[in-house]
Structure 1
Amino acid sequence: MTMAAVEIYTKFGCPYCSRAKALLRDKGVDFEEHDITMGGPDRATMIERANGRTTVPQIFIDGEHVGGSDDLAALDRAGKLDPMLEGAAR
Protein backbone atom coordinates (compact mmCIF):
# COMPACT_ATOMS: atom_id res chain seq x y z
CA MET A 1 0.00 0.00 0.00
CA THR A 2 1.36 3.41 -0.95
CA MET A 3 0.81 6.10 1.61
CA ALA A 4 -0.07 9.62 0.56
CA ALA A 5 2.55 12.35 0.78
CA VAL A 6 1.72 14.51 3.79
CA GLU A 7 3.18 17.95 4.46
CA ILE A 8 2.54 20.05 7.54
CA TYR A 9 3.60 23.63 8.17
CA THR A 10 4.22 24.26 11.89
CA LYS A 11 5.61 26.72 14.43
CA PHE A 12 7.48 25.90 17.64
CA GLY A 13 5.22 25.61 20.68
CA CYS A 14 1.98 25.51 18.69
CA PRO A 15 -0.51 23.22 20.47
CA TYR A 16 -2.63 22.78 17.33
CA CYS A 17 0.48 21.69 15.41
CA SER A 18 1.29 19.17 18.14
CA ARG A 19 -2.26 17.81 18.04
CA ALA A 20 -2.24 17.42 14.26
CA LYS A 21 1.17 15.72 14.28
CA ALA A 22 0.02 13.36 17.06
CA LEU A 23 -3.04 12.35 15.02
CA LEU A 24 -0.87 11.64 11.98
CA ARG A 25 1.66 9.69 14.08
CA ASP A 26 -1.16 7.65 15.69
CA LYS A 27 -2.16 6.63 12.18
CA GLY A 28 1.42 5.64 11.36
CA VAL A 29 1.80 8.39 8.77
CA ASP A 30 5.19 9.79 7.85
CA PHE A 31 5.02 13.49 7.09
CA GLU A 32 7.31 16.24 5.94
CA GLU A 33 7.35 19.09 8.45
CA HIS A 34 8.11 22.66 7.44
CA ASP A 35 8.95 24.72 10.54
CA ILE A 36 8.04 28.36 9.84
CA THR A 37 8.68 29.66 13.38
CA MET A 38 11.20 32.18 12.04
CA GLY A 39 9.21 32.93 8.87
CA GLY A 40 11.28 32.82 5.72
CA PRO A 41 10.50 31.44 2.27
CA ASP A 42 8.59 28.40 3.63
CA ARG A 43 6.07 30.74 5.30
CA ALA A 44 5.46 32.58 2.03
CA THR A 45 5.08 29.25 0.24
CA MET A 46 2.59 28.03 2.85
CA ILE A 47 0.46 31.19 2.58
CA GLU A 48 0.40 30.91 -1.20
CA ARG A 49 -0.47 27.19 -1.14
CA ALA A 50 -3.09 27.66 1.61
CA ASN A 51 -4.98 30.38 -0.30
CA GLY A 52 -3.87 33.16 2.01
CA ARG A 53 -4.29 31.37 5.33
CA THR A 54 -1.56 32.42 7.76
CA THR A 55 -2.36 30.25 10.79
CA VAL A 56 -0.57 27.00 11.58
CA PRO A 57 -0.71 24.18 11.09
CA GLN A 58 -1.55 24.06 7.41
CA ILE A 59 -1.76 20.49 6.17
CA PHE A 60 -1.48 19.10 2.65
CA ILE A 61 -2.18 15.51 1.58
CA ASP A 62 -0.80 14.62 -1.86
CA GLY A 63 -0.56 18.34 -2.56
CA GLU A 64 -4.22 18.99 -1.68
CA HIS A 65 -4.80 21.59 1.03
CA VAL A 66 -6.92 20.06 3.79
CA GLY A 67 -6.64 22.97 6.24
CA GLY A 68 -5.57 23.06 9.88
CA SER A 69 -5.72 20.83 12.93
CA ASP A 70 -9.50 21.11 13.40
CA ASP A 71 -10.05 20.34 9.71
CA LEU A 72 -7.82 17.27 9.97
CA ALA A 73 -9.69 16.05 13.06
CA ALA A 74 -13.05 16.65 11.33
CA LEU A 75 -11.93 14.57 8.33
CA ASP A 76 -10.92 11.79 10.71
CA ARG A 77 -14.25 11.90 12.57
CA ALA A 78 -16.11 11.77 9.25
CA GLY A 79 -14.14 8.70 8.18
CA LYS A 80 -12.61 10.57 5.24
CA LEU A 81 -9.01 10.88 6.46
CA ASP A 82 -7.92 7.25 6.19
CA PRO A 83 -8.85 6.91 2.50
CA MET A 84 -6.98 10.15 1.77
CA LEU A 85 -3.91 8.92 3.64
CA GLU A 86 -4.00 5.58 1.87
CA GLY A 87 -3.92 7.37 -1.46
CA ALA A 88 -7.01 5.37 -2.43
CA ALA A 89 -7.98 7.99 -4.97
CA ARG A 90 -4.81 7.46 -6.99
Structure 2
Amino acid sequence: MAHVEIYTKAFCGYCARAKSLLGKKGVAFEEYDITMGGPKRSEMLERAQGGATVPQIFIDGTHVGGSDDLGRLDREGKLDALLGI
Protein backbone atom coordinates (compact mmCIF):
# COMPACT_ATOMS: atom_id res chain seq x y z
CA MET A 1 0.00 0.00 0.00
CA ALA A 2 1.16 3.53 -0.78
CA HIS A 3 2.56 5.96 1.76
CA VAL A 4 0.08 8.84 2.03
CA GLU A 5 0.80 12.20 3.65
CA ILE A 6 -1.72 14.96 4.17
CA TYR A 7 -1.18 18.49 5.45
CA THR A 8 -4.26 19.78 7.27
CA LYS A 9 -5.63 22.55 9.49
CA ALA A 10 -8.19 22.37 12.28
CA PHE A 11 -11.83 22.93 11.29
CA CYS A 12 -11.08 22.48 7.57
CA GLY A 13 -14.02 20.91 5.76
CA TYR A 14 -11.93 20.03 2.72
CA CYS A 15 -9.41 18.29 4.98
CA ALA A 16 -12.20 16.31 6.63
CA ARG A 17 -13.56 15.29 3.22
CA ALA A 18 -10.15 14.08 1.99
CA LYS A 19 -9.48 12.16 5.21
CA SER A 20 -12.95 10.61 5.01
CA LEU A 21 -12.35 9.38 1.45
CA LEU A 22 -9.01 7.87 2.42
CA GLY A 23 -10.62 6.29 5.49
CA LYS A 24 -13.42 4.75 3.40
CA LYS A 25 -10.76 3.16 1.24
CA GLY A 26 -9.03 1.77 4.33
CA VAL A 27 -5.88 3.76 3.68
CA ALA A 28 -3.65 4.83 6.55
CA PHE A 29 -2.09 8.25 6.21
CA GLU A 30 0.39 10.46 7.98
CA GLU A 31 -1.24 13.76 8.94
CA TYR A 32 0.63 17.00 9.53
CA ASP A 33 -1.46 19.65 11.30
CA ILE A 34 -0.22 23.08 10.22
CA THR A 35 -2.94 25.10 11.97
CA MET A 36 -0.34 27.07 13.92
CA GLY A 37 2.14 27.28 11.02
CA GLY A 38 5.67 26.28 11.85
CA PRO A 39 8.24 24.20 9.99
CA LYS A 40 5.69 21.74 8.58
CA ARG A 41 3.86 24.62 6.86
CA SER A 42 7.12 25.74 5.24
CA GLU A 43 7.78 22.14 4.24
CA MET A 44 4.31 21.88 2.67
CA LEU A 45 4.79 25.09 0.69
CA GLU A 46 8.06 23.81 -0.69
CA ARG A 47 6.81 20.33 -1.50
CA ALA A 48 3.55 21.58 -3.02
CA GLN A 49 5.43 24.15 -5.10
CA GLY A 50 3.67 27.08 -3.46
CA GLY A 51 0.31 25.39 -2.87
CA ALA A 52 -0.85 27.28 0.21
CA THR A 53 -4.33 25.87 0.73
CA VAL A 54 -5.10 22.74 2.71
CA PRO A 55 -5.25 19.90 2.40
CA GLN A 56 -2.14 19.18 0.36
CA ILE A 57 -1.90 15.45 -0.33
CA PHE A 58 1.10 13.35 -1.34
CA ILE A 59 1.02 9.71 -2.39
CA ASP A 60 4.39 7.96 -2.35
CA GLY A 61 6.04 11.39 -2.36
CA THR A 62 4.12 12.62 -5.42
CA HIS A 63 1.97 15.71 -4.96
CA VAL A 64 -1.60 14.94 -6.02
CA GLY A 65 -3.13 18.24 -4.90
CA GLY A 66 -6.05 18.93 -2.61
CA SER A 67 -9.39 17.42 -1.71
CA ASP A 68 -11.02 18.20 -5.06
CA ASP A 69 -8.08 16.62 -6.89
CA LEU A 70 -8.29 13.50 -4.71
CA GLY A 71 -12.02 13.23 -5.39
CA ARG A 72 -11.48 13.67 -9.13
CA LEU A 73 -8.88 10.90 -9.17
CA ASP A 74 -11.38 8.65 -7.40
CA ARG A 75 -14.22 9.48 -9.81
CA GLU A 76 -11.91 8.81 -12.77
CA GLY A 77 -10.99 5.41 -11.33
CA LYS A 78 -7.32 6.33 -10.93
CA LEU A 79 -7.04 6.68 -7.15
CA ASP A 80 -7.04 2.98 -6.20
CA ALA A 81 -4.08 2.30 -8.46
CA LEU A 82 -2.12 5.20 -6.93
CA LEU A 83 -2.94 3.92 -3.46
CA GLY A 84 -1.99 0.37 -4.34
CA ILE A 85 -5.35 -1.11 -3.39
TM-score range, shorter chain: over 0.9
CA RMSD of aligned residues (A): 0.8
User: What is the SS of the residue equivalent to 1:25?
Assistant: helix
Quote the offset at 1:7 in angstroms.
0.1
Q: With structure 2 as the length reference, what TM-score do the two structures score?
A: 0.99
User: What is the SS of the residue equivalent to 2:52?
Assistant: coil
**Number of corresponding residues:** 85
Quote the offset at 1:58 in angstroms.
0.1
The one of 21, 24, 27 aligned to 1:23: 21
List gaps (5 residues or longer) in structure 2: none
List gaps (5 residues or longer) in structure 1: none
| CA offsets 1:5-28 (integer angstroms, 9 cap, x no match) | 000000000000000000000000
Which residue matches 1:62? 60
Q: Which stretches of structure 1, 4 residues or more, deviate above 4 A after TM superposition?
A: none
| CA offsets 1:39-58 (integer angstroms, 9 cap, x no match) | 00000000000010100000
User: What is the SS of the residue equivalent to 2:82?
Assistant: helix
Q: With structure 1 as the length reference, what TM-score do the two structures score?
A: 0.93
Tell me the percent identity: 71
- Give the partner amino acid of 2:39: P
